[in-house]
Structure formats: C-alpha cells, structure tokens
Structure 1
C-alpha cells in the first residue's frame, strides 16, 4: 500500500483471485535407440524430420529409431526428444595432422563430433584464410558417400561446413578450437600441447621482383612486434641502387636504428631485426624479420604518407606482401582432402583412428540404462524404444514410466517383428511381468515403403512411431480423453500389415490388453485398440490413464504458487478456485462424464482435507476427483422385426 501523504486518487495493482492453470502437453514423445550419429550423453529436442537428420543422420540397417521418428512426424507429431544409445566399444573417428613448422609437429587432432563409423566419411580441406592468409586458415568439411572409396574429385563435393579465418591464438575470438567446437555439427578440434613449442620470428615476405631504382621514393612505415607504426626513410644512396642486396642492407640498417615506442617491447625486435633477399628461380623478394621469436613477434608494412617506396619494393598489402606472426607456423599444414578416421599416415597426417559403431552385444538393459537421461525432462509424455520388441523391454519401459516421481509418462510397446499369430501375441502378453496402466502394447508390425529406396518391396516397421504420431494428432484434434483408436485413427505411411487379423482374432486379443492394428474397407489401416496392460478395471483404457497424467501434471505445475503461502482458508479458497476453474474448462471441452460440473468432478480443499496436524506439518491437501470418459468399445445395435400392421 503506498504512503498516503497528499489528497488525491491512488491506484494500486493487486493480483486477481484466480490463478489460471495451463493444460500440460500430452503429445511430445521421447524415442530411445540406435542412430547413425549424434550425441549419446543426453536427450535432444527435435522439431522436424529435417532437424533429426541434421543431428542424428538418416536410416540405418540395425535400428528403427530413424524410421520411427520419420513416421512420428508423418502421423501428426510436432516435436520429440531423441536419446541415442551406442555400443560399449563404439569409437570416434579422428585424424592428427602436422603444423607448418620447419620440423613438422603433430599439432592438431580433428575428430568426428560423436561416435560411429559415420565419422570415416568426413573429408577435411585446410587452406589459407581469406582475410589474413599468412596467419589465419580456412577449414572446409565435406562428406563422401562411401568411406571405403575416396572420390576422384573431393573438391567437387559441396562442403557441409566452412570455417574461414581461424586462428591458433587461444586469446583470439576466432580461436579454432572454440569456433569449430561451438559451430560445427560434424567435427571437433583439439590443439595438441606440443604445438605451442613451434614458434618463428615474425616475418613479412614481400611480393616478387621489386622495381629499382627507387629514386626519391625512399620511405615506408613499419610496425614491429606491435610496437606501433614508425616511418623508415632510407638513405639517398639507396635511391640510385639497382642491386636488391644494397636496398636490403639499407632497410636492415634503418630499422635497427628505430627506437621502441612501448616499454613492454623487447629491444631485440629492432636491434636484431634482419632483412634478406629470397630467390626462387628468376624471382626475388625481400624478407623482413623481427629480432624476436615469440608468439607476438610480427612485422607489418604500410605505405608512407610521402615518397612511398612500399609499392616499388613490393611490401605491404598493396605490393603483394604477406605477414606471418611468430605463431603462424602453429597453423595446421595445408591439405586438399584429409579423410577423418581412415587417412593414410603420410605427411601431413601422423595418426588416424577409425570410427566404429561397435560390435558388442546390445540388450534391453542397454536401452533402459539410457532412460535416466530423461529424468530431468518434464515436457514429454510418451516413451518408446522402437524395434526393441521384447517382453523384457516393455517391462522396463512401463516400470520406468510408473516410477518417475510425477508418473507423467506413458510407454508405447509393441510385440516382436516375427509375432504374426494370435498365439504368439498372447505368449508375448503372458511374459510381461510389469502389467501396470502406464503402457500399451500394439500388434502387429506394419509395412511401409522403404524410405532408402534399397528395397523394392515394403519393409516391416515397428508401429510405435506411427502410434506416437497418431496420439499427438488425436490429442490436438479431439483431446487426450479421446481414445486414439477407431476408423479416424488411421496410420499414415502404412501400406500393409505383418498379418491381417479377423474379428475372432481381435476378440481373443482385446481382453488381454493387446491393442490391435487392423485394416478396414474405406478406413485403411487403423489402430483399433485402446487398452492398457493393467488388470485394474479402473485403468483399463489408454485415454483414462493419459487423462489422469494430464490432470496430475497440469495441477502440479499450476499450483506452485501455493508453496510457502499462509496455510489457511484464504489459500484453500484460492486453490479451490484455481483448480475448479481448470476442471470446469476441461468439462466444457467434453473431457469428463456427467451433464453438470458437479457430476463430472469435484475439488475439495478445506478444514476437512487439511487438519490442524497437517497445518502444523506444513501440508495442505487438495482432493480432486473426476469421472473419466471411457471409450465405447462395444456398440450394440438391437434390431427387431415388427409384424405387419393393418393398413388404416
């Protein structure tokens, strides 16, 4: 309340009585399984099939996760989490290359971003940087189709990633390890410790064949070791010289006479400065070298304001000169195409380690051990391990869903790929030991066109990816309380089934909690079952359990405001109002049974639910009950024959 010190109108904003609750998401899935590539340290949220491919690659022969994610989006899914599982002996592809020092040192290790044989398909090109060719370099990353056959023209492959003007200075914002590590989805770079031992004297190499005599153009500006630009004026005699060696001597003498401008500059940068002539065939050029050999050692040349000699001497950028700092030799050696993981060990490559998907056996435990990576993810509600279709896997999946602290996940299981009879599906169900309501099992597998194009015939796929997308589609169109089954629950991308079931077959499986996928004329292939595995009649149906999960999560998230509030009637009234308004909104959407709110649900929070003992313990109890909608599994139509009536 503001201090009332003068007559007038005071306006104060106060919170309203009701705090709205948001409905929790029910259609975000999490898929666990083998992928071509990608991180195996935690879940990644992907929002499209393209995003999945960018991070996890494409379809593989020994796993169905990619197929299932593709069909999840194809059937109505909007976003999902992916957890990659790798074999224990999977390795990361890498290659170690020399730096540019006169005595080559293994300066850099380039490795694939994560484990797998996919890393062996990466090709690296290393060349001079665009802005500062002497000191910076450019890294291009390409990917070949077949790791075992090098392409005839690797540069003809369009680079997937290009990093230009990279530095080997750890203090630079363009430091190679940081820029590539942060920006690349394909490779990481490690600068090896021995690389730091490679240093040279900072040097500026002029362009070829200076034009003599200089005549009156006897000046240029020079910056040695970053001390600052100083004007160098050559003696008059240098203007008439026609031998480059004479000009060389004059430059060396003139620079050595300069006085440093900064206290921190090593005097040897000037006193030991050297100028030489480098000759290659018929071409000659001047080479200006700092007197120090530190990482900061450098020589830069710029034109003078008057009587400039830099163009004739071919020094500086305008004359075609090129500077290299003291640590320029720490750059990786230039190379056209270095194959990560499988490069031949010959200069500039010093070592290569092939990437591998691993050979160790993988079991249900391998996948369930990845479940805890999802513990801190709270915005998904469906879980599947596509293709790992064993009773043990279904048990582990449903146990994880039921044992999460908030019990906020529903597991989608499936029978085995070779289960194509009622007896085999029944045997699968009988082997389940975790028969709770936090999961459903679908039968049989479905047939789809091979997205890789390798098979002309349809391939068998686990149905969990299709079904997860179907759940998301039905939730968005009708609500989580609508059973994800029936003639509107068509499975997109399905061209057939592992087995076509009859009504009698279906009748034998439905009471056992096996959700059957069937084909109907006019409707196509549809999910035609919506039962959980639970034997408890209260939680027999998928929409009942999933509605309860939605209510639990929504109310949990929505009443966090009550924590540490005074535990008395005003708080209880707020809770009744907030939860009651939320439940009323759902009732109006048709989420519950009953003709009136009183018949559909109740919310109780008062002195009866929260006793003085509870208050003393810091506890407030809110009791919420709802009348769930249950699907009309059996629609009975009674037809009777009416005897003929006399015409009247």
Structure 2
C-alpha cells in the first residue's frame, strides 16, 4: 500500500489471484550404462545423437548404451541425460613431457578428460604461440580414430581443439591449466609441482641489422617489468659498421639507468648484457636482463624520435622476439605426441596407458550410479539399455518408486536370449517388485547395425526405442495416451527377436509383459501398455505416468504457497490455481467425464485443513482425477437379422 500524502490518484498493481501452473515435462529420459568416453561423476544432458557422440563417444562392443540413445532420438526423443558407468579398474591416459629447460623431473602432464582406452588415441601438437612465440605456446588436439592409420604429420588428421597463446604463468589469464581445463572436452593439463628452470630474460633481434645508424640512435627498453625508459646510444655509434660495437654501445647506455620500482632488483641494469649471435651468414643482437628469475624480461619498443628499432631489427614490430625467464618452463615443442600410448623418449618422461578395465560389472554397478540422478528433476523416464536381468529391473523400478517425488518411470526389457513365451514368463516371475513405476517389454528388436560394418540386422534392446516412442506420443497426443497401438511404430526396427501370435500375446498380457509385435501394413509396433503393478488401479502405463505428471506439475507450481498466511485467502488461491490447471488438462482430453466436475476435483478448505493442521503449519490440498484408461480390448458383436422387407 503506497503512502497516501497528497490528494490525487494512486495506481498500484495487485495479483489477480490465479498463479498459473506449468505442465511438467514427461518425455525426457535418462540412460545409464557403459560408454566409450565421457564423465563418470554426474549426469550429462545431450540434445541429439551428434551431441552424445561428442561427449560419450560411439558404439562399443560391451555395451548397448549408445544403441539405446541412438534409438531414442530416432523415435522422437528430444533430449536425455546420460550417466556413464565405468569399471573400478579403469584408468585415465596420461603423458608427461619435460619443459624447455630440459629438466627430466619437470614439465607438464597432459591427460585424457576421463577414463578409458579412448584416451590413447589422442594426439597433441605443441608449438610456439602466435602472438608472442617466445613466451606463449600453442596446443592442438587431434584424435586417431582409425588404429590402422599412422599419420606422418599432424595435418593428416583434423584438429579437434586448438588453444593458442597459452601461458605457463599461473597469474596469467591465459594460464594453460585454467584455459584448457575450462574449455577442452578432451584433455586436462597439470603443471608439475617440481617444474623449474629459468633463464635471463632476453630479447633476440632479427637477422641482418642495417648499419650505420646515422642519427637514428634511440629506442625504449623495459627490464623485468620495471617500465619503459628511453635509451640513446653514444654519438660514436652513428658511424659504427660492426654489430659488436653497437652491442657495446647499448650496454653502456643501459647500465646507468635507474630502477623505477622499489621491488626491482638493481642488477637488472648493472648486470644487463648485449651480445651478438650469428645464424648462418647473418648476425643479430641479443639483449639480456641482469637477473635470472621467472620474472626476468626484456621488452623493446620504438622511440618517439630518431628511432633505431627498425634498423637494428629489435622490438616486436621489427621482427624481434622476447623470451622471459619463465619461458623455459613451457612444454617442449613436439609435432606428434600420443597421450597414453607414447614411447618414453625425450621429451616424454612418463606415460600411463588408458584402460576401460577388466573388473566384473554387475547390476549393482549400474544401480550405484542411480543416485547421480537424485538432484536431476526434469527427467521422467529411466532405462539401462541391454542390462536385461530381473535384478536390474527390480533395482530400476525400486529407485523410481523411492525417489522423494516418485517422478520417474522405469522401462525394463527381458533378456537378449529370451525368445519364447516361456522365457518371458520366467523372466516376469523372477521379478520381486510389483510397483507401478515400471513396464517390462518383450522381445528384443532387430535393427540395421548403426555402427556399420555389416548389412545384417543386429539384435538390440528395445528400451531406447520405447523411450523415444513415449516422447513422441507425449508430444503428439499427451501423456494420457497409451504409448501402444498401430500408431506406436518403432522407427529403425526391421524385425524382432521373436514373432508372436495372438495366443502368445494373450498369455503374456495378463502378466504385465508388454509385447512388441509386427502387423501387416503397419510394421513393428509396441502393443502393450501395462505396468507390472499388482494393484489394478495402476495397471496401465498412461495412468501411472499421468499421475506422475500431475504430481510434479502441482509440486513445482505451488511452491509460492510456502509461508503464506494459512487461511481462506490462501486456500482459495490454491483451489483456483490448481483448478485452472486441471481444467486446462480436461479440455485437452486428459481425464474421463463429460464435465470438469466429473473429471476432477480440488478441495482445500476448513475440512481438509483443521485448526490442528493450521497450528502445525500444514495446509492440505486434496486433488482427485478420473484417469483415462486405454481400450485394451475392442469387442465387436455381429449378428444376423432376418425377414427384412425389401424396399
């Protein structure tokens, strides 16, 4: 309420009382399994198959995770979470190279971003940086995916990641550990704690200075970051034609300079030297700071008048190159360096080969990874493709039922070799879970091999395709529509592990086994929509999933009510908000009934919330709905009618 202090009109916004609720997503899946690569410490979101390949790699022989994700996107999935499981003895590929000081115990360690043999295929190229080649370096990452192809040069393989102008200085914004660690999806970098080696900061001029200098005798110099100071050579240098005489003149001009910063070591000037260096038939100037420390440096820039840098070829603009004291700590330059699979010879000092591990993996290896999804709230389907055992199905459905919000549905599948009704029945009878938070599908499906290599169809677990089907039906018809029937075709499926008859289907359906069948003119379709629940109220998949959608939507939509005054104004707002949400769903065809009152109710008043509840800080909202149940059995009665008069 505004403060009323003067006569006039006051305008204020007030709430209309209706706080809209958003419908929770029901079509985002989470897949758990072994993968070629990728992080194994959390759940990663991928939005397409290419995204999955970039982070988690491609198809591998001992896992169906990649196949499941591929089928999911092929059948209508839009995004999913991936939880990578690794064997306990899996290792990360690493290689250590010494620094440019040549100290064997010093240098940098480059490692694959995560565990697995895939890291052994990474190739590094280390070069001088583009902007400051004397102090910075460039790192290029490539990958040798074909083991039979041995590249002769880096250019034989495409560059996957390029990091230019990296610094070995931990105080620099271009520090290699920070830049690569944050930006690379393939490697990490570690600077060895014993990395050492320094030199006198120096500046090498370009080859072949032009003499004599005549009147161009000036330039500016900064030593060890003390700041630029003007330098003017003695008059005798103007006619000198020997580069050694110029070097002596530069020394004599720099030695008397005084430091500008209290922290600067006076030795940078008194110990300063300038010499000549011959390369082939040409010579150049080499200017060195008087100190040998990581911070030692020499920088040259042109003078305002009578500038000599162009003739002497010193300064970056004239082709000169500075190397600081810390420059020796950069990794040694190398054209092809294989992480994890490089021989130990200079500059390589240590190698650790990456491995997928050999330890046995069990159902609990996957269920132990489920908690990584505990804090992920925007997925509603869970599958472990190919891990098709009764124990795995029990663990998956138990996890879904025991989540605090009970907001996830598990898609289970029978075993790979289960190809008869008896096999499927035996599998179902071994399940100890009978909750409604999962469905069991039979049989496995045949698909053209997405990994290539053979034209023959391969047998794949159906959970990935079924999860994608759920997403597709949810988007087109709504979560209340059973993901089954002639419109529930499985894309990319060309056959089945077992062809079933109506009689076979009739033996499995009452047991809660959802059958995948082939029909003429339709193709391969999901033709079952039952959970494995013992409670007939939750017999059907769309009923349970609709309840999950309502629970999550209302939970997220009424968070605003927490700590509001617990009385009729709050109760009416809750009734109005939830009632409006339910009415919208009713109009979309989510519930039974011809009118809203037949389809649902929302009750929040003094009957649901007593004075004792109010004293305890509790408000009770009762929401009921009449779920749509699929027409599982369509009965047509045909009779004869005789004696019709001809007309």
Tell me which moved more, 296-305 or 14-23.
Answer: 296-305
Residue equivalent to 2:112 = 112
Counterpart of 1:370? Answer: 369
Using the size of structure 1 for normalisation, the TM-score is 0.98
Partner of 2:68 in structure 1?
A: 68
Match of 1:191 in 2: 191
Partner of 1:582: 581
Residue pairs, 1:164-243, within 5 angstroms: 164-195=164-195, 197-243=196-242
Measured after TM superposition, the shift of residue 279 of structure 1 is: 2.5
Aligned partner of 2:281 in structure 1 is 282
CA deviation vs aligned residue, 1:579-632 (integer Å, no higher than 9, x gap): 111111111111111111111111111121111211111111111111111100
Q: Note closer, same or farther for the CA distance 1:102–1:607 as it changes in structure 2 (3 Å cut).
A: closer
Distance 2:588 2:627 in 1: 13
Equivalences for residues 243-262 of structure 1 within 5 A: 243-262=242-261
1:423 offset after TM fit, Å? 0.3
| 3-state SS of paired residue (1:37) | coil
TM-aligned CA deviation for residue 113 of structure 1: 0.5
Cα offset for 1:137?
Answer: 0.5
> 1:136 is matched with which residue?
136
Q: Is residue 2:286 matched to residue 1:292?
A: no
Matched with 1:5 is 5
Q: Distance in 1 between matches of 2:151 and 2:460?
A: 34
| 3-state SS of paired residue (2:379) | coil
CA distance in 2, matches of 1:540, 1:607: 34
Q: Does 1:530 align with 2:529?
A: yes
Q: CA deviation at 1:93?
A: 0.4
The structural deviation recorded for 1:263 is 2.4
Which runs of 5 or more structure 1 residues have no equivalent in the other structure?
A: none
> Structure 2 CA distance, aligned partners of 1:561 and 1:616?
20
Q: 1:323 to 1:626 in 2, by over 3 A?
A: same
The 1-side partners of 2:437 and 2:317 are apart by: 73
1:177·1:189 contact (CA, 8 Å) conserved in 2?
yes
Structure 1: how far apart are the matches of 2:8 and 2:302?
73
The answer as to 2:77 corresponding to 1:77 is yes
Q: Quick check: 1:568 aligned with 2:578?
A: no
1:313 is matched with which residue?
312
Deviation at 1:564, TM superposition (A): 1.1
Give the TM-score, by structure 2 length.
0.98
C-alpha distance in 2 between matches for 1:297 and 1:255: 16
d(CA) in 2 for partners of 1:432, 1:366: 19
1:147 Cα deviation after fit: 4.7
Deviates more, 1:134-143 or 1:8-17: 8-17
Tell me the alpha carbon deviations over residues 498-519 of structure 1, each in whole angstroms, 9 at most, x when there is no partner. Answer: 1111111100100000000001
d(CA) in 2 for partners of 1:91, 1:54: 20
2:434 corresponds to which residue? Answer: 435
Preserved CA contact (<8 Å) 1:120 1:147? no
Alignment partner, residue 558 of structure 1: 557
CA, structure 1 residues 103+65, in 2 after alignment: closer, same or farther (shift >3 Å)?
closer
- How far is 1:107 from its partner? 1.0
Structure 2 gap segments, 5+ residues each = none
Contact 2:153 2:335 in 1 (8 A): no
| Partners of 1:604 and 1:622 within 8 A in 2 | yes
Deviation at 1:10, TM superposition (A): 1.1
**2:505 match:** 506
Aligned length in residues: 647
Q: Which residue of 2 aligns with 1:447?
A: 446
- The alignment partner of 1:249 has SS state of helix
Give yes or no for contact 1:341–1:352 (8 Å, CA) kept in 2. Answer: yes
Partner of 2:91: 91
- Structure 1: distance between partners of 2:198 and 2:42: 41
Q: Secondary structure at the match of 1:423?
A: helix
Q: What is the alpha-carbon distance in structure 1 between the residues aligned to residue 526 and residue 632 of structure 2?
A: 13
Quick one: distance in 2 between partners of 1:7 and 1:307?
77
Match of 2:14 in 1: 14
In structure 1, what is the equivalent of residue 23 of structure 2? 23
What's 2:46 paired with? 46
Would the aligned equivalents of 1:572 and 1:605 in 2 still touch at CA under 8 Å?
yes
- The alignment yields a C-alpha RMSD, in angstroms, of 1.3
Indicate the SS of the match to 2:248: helix
**1-structure distance, mates of 2:46, 2:103:** 47
Cα offsets for 1:243-265 (capped at 9, x unmatched): 32222222111110112222222
Counterpart secondary structure, 1:300? strand
